[in-house]
Amino acid sequence: MALSNWFFVGWSIDSDWKVTPLKKIPKIETEDGLIIEICKNWIYVYPKEREGGGITIYSGYVSGYGFEIMAKRGLQNSLYAVIKWYKDDGWGLLLAVAGEGSDKRGRWVGCRPRTLKCFKKFAAKAVNELCLVDKLPELIPAICFNQGDLYFSERLGLPMQYHKVGEKAPKPYLLQMFEGCKKSRRREGKK
pLDDT recorded at residue 133: 86
Consecutive H or E run containing 85 = strand 78-87
CA 157 to chain centre: 20
- Classify the C-alpha dihedral 31-143-128-19 as positive or negative: positive
pLDDT recorded at residue 15: 86
Cα 114–Cα 116–Cα 118 angle in degrees, nearest 5: 70
142 backbone dihedrals φ, ψ, rounded to 5°? -95, 100
Model confidence, pTM: 0.89
pLDDT recorded at residue 60: 97
Domain boundaries, the chain: 2-187
- Quick: pLDDT tens for 113-162: 999 999 999 999 999 999 988 888 999 889 999 999 998 899 999 999 99
pLDDT recorded at residue 81: 98
pLDDT recorded at residue 90: 85
Residues of the chain with pLDDT under 70: 1-3, 51-52, 180-191
